[in-house]
Amino acid sequence: MPKTYRPYQPEQALLLPPSLQDWLPEDHLAYFVSDVVDQADRSAIEAVYEDEERGQPPYHPLMMTKVLVYAYCARVFSSRKIQKQLAEDVAFRVLAAGHQPDFRTISDFRKMHLAALEGLFEQVLRMALAAGAMKLGRVALDSSKIQANASKHKAMSYGRMKEQERQLRAEVKQLLAQAEALDEEEDARYGKDRSGEELPVELRRRETRLKRIREAQRALEQRARQEAAAAGRPAEPAVPKDSAQYNFTDPESRIMKGPDRYVQAYSAQVAVGVAAHRRSSVTQQANDKEQLQPMVGTIRQQAGQKPQQLSADNGYCSEENLAYLGRRRIDGYIATEKQKHGQRPAPCKRGPLPKGATRVDRMRRKLQTKVGAAISALRKGIVEPVFGQIKQGRGFRQFLLRGLEKVKGEWALVCLTHNILKMYRICYRVEGGGMVERMRGQTNGGRSPDPSELMDGDRVRFDRPGGAFNGTVGTVPAALGQAPRNDKCGVCSFTG
């Protein structure tokens, strides 16, 4: 007797069209992204299209926003790859409701609405902060070099520019002399109906290079004047160093020292709280000492509140920064020197600090205490995994856009989707979505843990509209069951 299999008829046509809602499970990330974007204020994006009545109707901004945000959540950053996923991936097709905008439309939408997408990042952050019990509290600050969409081999130093300018001027002068001496030959070459004044290809190429080099020189000279003015020096006599670099592909990027080599990059800054909510910024400066004060302002702007405690590595340590934290009444734990992996801080010396001790000396002593060493050690586990998740886990190692403002918008989009993924994991790590809180009090310092900290047998409180449950990890799903997708508590009702 032949084996009986389940029916398999790939050529069978469906009698009725399937519902898009049946293609994915109710707790799929695509539905979570859809709910988050639905709750956000999208008026800044939609206002661009309201007064335009010409041409064909555009794709709906809500659909385009959902597709773009989900694409970054799903580690798809290229507009061409997003176009491919819209034809092949079920989740993309569900979010787009069958629409398939081409890569140019997706790319233009992203570039056109970078500022609005950056505002969406702040809205999602405020959703999480306003959800309930969460406070900003302890914040860890760090930076990482992310490669620009440009090669360092397309950069040229100011000294090299001056040398190339002299060489090209000489070559252009020589070619012009040859052109003037060979008028008759040029008439034969170009024909009698042409003036013979058209530049040879070789001469045009050299003149174009000379023009671009002169523009780059002016840009470096302007940069030197701005740096001099910022440092309080006279701006007029400021001259760039011969080692000053200019990149012809992305002039606003800089050559920075990476972990193992120099790269053409931007410095991406993040501030991470114990609840794993990210504040972000991007800068051209490789040195982090000038970024602490702007990042504190960014935290206050994006989160709407001031951090109570801030920790950072030695790259942010300076007398000025420590004085700034003191004036703002922020409890700072800033490393004063670089430590090798696994190296423990020296024990705290007995006795008072010597007279004339600087703020750096006081901070060094503070970090040598048991409390200071413990708080400082937490920084690595709070902020550094974020860059690992973004760069290694999600594969975002290079910006696709060029120019500082566009890069800031793209980095905000990356951090926006990182926060959405974190919220999604918190809501669905324990089935049913909602607030999870460990009941063992002192084991977590009174804060609510990340679901990754929960273990089988831990006592939890599980809250959601319509009921609450006190029990152990593993019994929550049986008590409450699976949360329906239209239950909006999945967006922000959690303790972070």
CATH of the domain at 333: 3.30.420
* CA gap 195, 403 in Å, rounded: 42
Do 224 and 344 lie in one domain? The reply is: no
230 and 273 in a single domain? The answer is no
- The residues that bridge with 259 in the sheet, in sequence order, are none
Does residue 339 sit within a domain?
A: yes
343 shares a domain with 392? yes
**Contact criterion met (CB below 8 Å) for 280 and 122:** no
Pairing between strand 435-438 and 459-464?
A: antiparallel
pTM of the model: 0.73
Q: Does 415 reside within a domain?
A: no
Residues 318 and 454 in one domain: no
Domain residues for the domain of 465 are 430-492
Regarding whether 376 and 281 lie in a shared domain, the answer is: yes
Q: Tell me: do 442 and 482 sit in the same domain.
A: yes
231 and 101 fall within a common domain: no
Q: Which of 440, 428, 423 lies closest to 495 in space, CA to CA?
A: 423
Shared domain for 322 and 450, answered yes or no, is no
Statement to judge: residues 140 and 197 lie in one domain: no
On whether both 364 and 391 belong to a single domain, the answer is: yes
Residue 409 lies in a domain: no
Indicate if 144 and 292 belong to the same structural domain.
yes
Per-residue pLDDT of the chain (496 residues; tens, 9 = 90+): 788 888 888 888 888 888 888 889 888 999 999 999 998 888 889 888 887 778 888 999 999 999 999 999 999 999 999 999 999 999 999 999 989 999 999 999 999 998 888 888 888 877 776 654 345 678 888 888 888 888 888 787 878 777 777 777 777 777 667 666 666 565 665 555 555 555 566 666 777 777 777 787 788 887 787 777 777 777 677 777 877 888 888 888 888 888 788 889 999 988 887 554 556 788 888 888 888 988 888 888 777 778 888 999 888 999 999 999 999 999 999 988 887 766 676 777 777 777 888 898 888 888 888 888 888 888 888 888 889 899 988 999 999 999 999 999 999 899 889 888 888 887 775 444 343 333 223 333 334 444 434 333 344 444 433 444 444 333 333 322 333 333 332 222 222 2
Q: Is residue 12 part of a domain?
A: no
* The total number of structural domains that make up the chain: 4
Indicate if 144 and 101 belong to the same structural domain. Answer: no
DSSP codes joined into one string, 448-462:
PPPGGG--TT-EEEE
Question: Is position 368 within any domain?
Answer: yes
Residue 78 maps to a domain: yes
Contact 377, 371 (CB under 8 A): no
Q: Is residue 121 part of a domain?
A: no
